[in-house]
Structure 1
Amino acid sequence: MFFHNKGKRRIRMSLPVITAFLFLTLVLSGCSQKDDTYDIAVFIPGVTEGSPTYSEMADGVLAAAKERDKVEASVIEGGFNQGDWGEKVKALAASGDWDLIVTTNPALPKICEAISREFPQQKFLILDGFLEGNPSIYTLRYHQMEQGYLAGTFAALVTGSDMSGADKEHLSVGMIVGQEYPDMNQAIRPGFERGVKRVAPEAKIEFRVVGNWFDASKGSELASSLYDSGTDVILTIAGGANQGVVAAAKERGRYVLWFDTAGYDVAPGTVIGSTAVEQYRAAYEKSLAAIDGTLPFGSAEVASTKDGWITFVENDEHYRETVPKELRERQHRFLEDLKQGNPPLPLLEEER
């Protein structure tokens, strides 16, 4: 975990030191009046290293802070234990030091809603989450059913192709995820399945869970089992465990799909497809709106392919070099159709 003030070097702290630091902050906040600087805390529900969407959020907020006078932003890593996030965010709110807390994760809206009842003056900007009606909270939710759908259409195109790592006589694709959670089970996974079935109704769809967001060995074990049983391509959404999936694919000449950011450079020729969300843009634009006093707290925005918030990353040399033109053209048509609302996809499916 670290605190990072813009323009200053990064300082790493152990958990006991951080706890003492936050306690001292609470004490001092009761003895002094906050100055006229607009202060933003960027709470990372995990760590930034190896987490591109978290890094993009932090970078977007820091860039927004640089655009305005008397605005400072600090980045606080919350670690992998979700059970600790509530107390850590609560400590930030209780300090009274922050005009805005920016964070991202589908679990954070409920956590922040509970905190806002105790500290109603604290404002929250939450990306990749959904909650409306709370005057202290603004959320922006990516239409992850659409994102999963685009990954699914591409996975099906690959398994049914003549690419060297695919066996079109035995259509099989897979997903490996860090953990199950509502948006995974009601948006991403059903979206992926709909995309696969749109292209290859007979394809087999495998689903495996690592159990955490960091165990690369477990990720490799699960991926190896799937590849050895005939799965050609795996969509991996498993944090640090993604590296294990990539390693297993490289050993076997199979394929991986990336999620949320362009992952082609991770393993060119192995990572052959990526969906992405505009996390940097969201953090930058929405933070500026909050600073300027125009962000509509209490509302919940849905970000979709239609408005360019979600896409399938096509403008990449590794993608063009690895994937045959015919497949790229077909995937492009699926993307353009989705922008026009075809097929119409719900935000969520009923809970499984």
Structure 2
Amino acid sequence: MRKFLVVSLIIIAVLIIGAPKRVAYVINGSLGDQSFYDSGYSGIKQLEKDFGVQTRVIECNFDPSLYYPSLTTAAQWADVIFVISYGFEEELKEVAMRFPNKIWVNIDTVVQDEKNIISSVDYREEEGAFLAGVVAAMVTTMTQLPGINPQKIIGAVGGDDDIVIRSFVYGYEQGAKYIDPEIQVKVIYVGTWDDPAKGKQAALQLYAQGADVVFQIAALTGYGVLQAAQEVGKYAIGVDSNQNPLVPGHVVTSDLKEVGKSIYDIYKMIVDGTFEKGKIYSLGVREGAVGLAVDEYTRKILPSEVVEKIIQLQQMIAEGRIEVKPYNP
């Protein structure tokens, strides 16, 4: 047993020594959203700790003039480049073709090039959003909770009207209708990812229209949704990272998209030799990449039997007993 352990440790050490040592994280936006981008950054920091890699974060701050040079800078320095490429998919293809020997991993959308250089992590976000819809539907029918009105209305605030956010909304609607077909779902797309004031304004509008719960799908803009819930005594659902503690008592749950975990897992595959260039990695509830944050903050709002029902439904999706339809525009 001891010999086996020593051999295993030697193999792991050899793998780590031979692993890529420079990792870049190129994002179209900026850190500090306490949501999507920060989730990815947590994975990058964990790579530093566990694998001793050097890392560099390059923030484009939604400035198109920075997209191409940022990718070029990353490619010149790093061995592995994780990219969130909303808005600059074509630039990603061009730079990847110039640096085909680098490992390119696009996060959250699918980018395919002619030579299969770029791999993509494509989340089945509709599965996590389905569960968010389940929670919202349950909450809006629980008139015993403070702030819940007799109407069956829930809402969502999207950062932009794109295919990923449409997938979230589609899953959210499916989950709500699964609980009660009479639930109304109202959606506002604000057109920005980094303006909490606009997120708050949109949420207040939805609450004024009768919504009891608003799902934020808007990165930093969505923080305003959480603030609005607190201001009017209503409820919100966070996104991507666990945002339950940000406004205790008003964020019922968060729809996690484990960007950091995905980055970490992909890097481990690169190290152990199972990673494939050009492959699309589809990740959902079954893989632990999406799902709900159910914690002490959730349990302080919802009765235990409701929490257990939510956990049961999540397990049913993981096992394939509930099928969530993907969004097909």
TM-score by length of 1: 0.80
Which one of 285, 297, 321 corresponds to residue 318 of structure 1?
297
Q: Which amino acid aligns with 1:334?
A: L
The 5-angstrom pairing of residues 214-233 of structure 1 reads 214-233=194-213
CA offsets 1:214-247 (integer angstroms, 9 cap, x no match):
2222222211121122110000112222232222
In the alignment, does 2:158 pair up with 1:177? yes
**Hey, what does 1:266 align to over in structure 2?**
246
What's the offset of the Cα at 1:78? 1.5
**Hey, what does 1:332 align to over in structure 2?**
311
Which one of 74, 80, 83 corresponds to residue 100 of structure 1?
80
Distance in 2 between residues matched to 1:165 and 1:343, nearest whole Å: 31
Distance in 2 between residues matched to 1:111 and 1:154, nearest whole Å: 39
Distance in 2 between residues matched to 1:165 and 1:248, nearest whole Å: 13
Distance in 1 between residues matched to 2:249 and 2:192, nearest whole Å: 27
**Hey, what does 1:118 align to over in structure 2?**
98
Q: Is the 8 A contact 1:103 1:127 kept in 2?
A: yes
CA offsets 1:253-305 (integer angstroms, 9 cap, x no match):
10000111211111011111112133222111212333455421111111111
The 5-angstrom pairing of residues 82-93 of structure 1 reads 83-84=64-65, 86-92=67-73
SS in 1 for 2:77: coil
Distance in 2 between residues matched to 1:67 and 1:324, nearest whole Å: 39
CA offsets 1:126-146 (integer angstroms, 9 cap, x no match):
222224575321222111110
Distance in 1 between residues matched to 2:51 and 2:296, nearest whole Å: 36
TM-score by length of 2: 0.86
Q: Is the 8 A contact 1:106 1:130 kept in 2?
A: no
What's the offset of the Cα at 1:101? 1.0
SS in 2 for 1:42: strand
What's the offset of the Cα at 1:198? 0.8
Q: Which amino acid aligns with 1:163?
A: L
Q: Which amino acid aligns with 2:25?
A: V
In the alignment, does 2:324 pair up with 1:342? no
In the alignment, does 2:109 pair up with 1:129? yes
Q: How many pairs does the alignment contain? A: 309
Q: Which amino acid aligns with 1:159?
A: T
What's the offset of the Cα at 1:212? 0.7
The 5-angstrom pairing of residues 236-251 of structure 1 reads 236-251=216-231
CA offsets 1:140-164 (integer angstroms, 9 cap, x no match):
2111110111111111011011211
CA-atom RMSD, angstroms?
2.3
Residue identity over aligned pairs, in percent, reads 25
Distance in 2 between residues matched to 1:200 and 1:85, nearest whole Å: 46
Give 4+ residue runs of structure 1 displaced > 6 Å after superposition: none
What's the offset of the Cα at 1:192? 0.7
Distance in 2 between residues matched to 1:264 and 1:196, nearest whole Å: 20
Distance in 2 between residues matched to 1:228 and 1:135, nearest whole Å: 49
**Hey, what does 1:301 align to over in structure 2?**
281
Distance in 1 between residues matched to 2:227 and 2:240, nearest whole Å: 20
SS in 2 for 1:265: coil
Q: Is the 8 A contact 1:61 1:287 kept in 2?
A: no
SS in 2 for 1:337: helix
The 5-angstrom pairing of residues 181-192 of structure 1 reads 181-185=162-166, 187-192=167-172
**Hey, what does 1:11 align to over in structure 2?**
none
Q: Is the 8 A contact 2:215 2:238 kept in 1?
A: yes
What's the offset of the Cα at 1:68? 4.0
Which one of 45, 70, 78 corresponds to residue 60 of structure 2?
78
What's the offset of the Cα at 1:319? 0.9
| Structure 2: runs of 5 or more not aligned | 1-18
What's the offset of the Cα at 1:79? 0.8
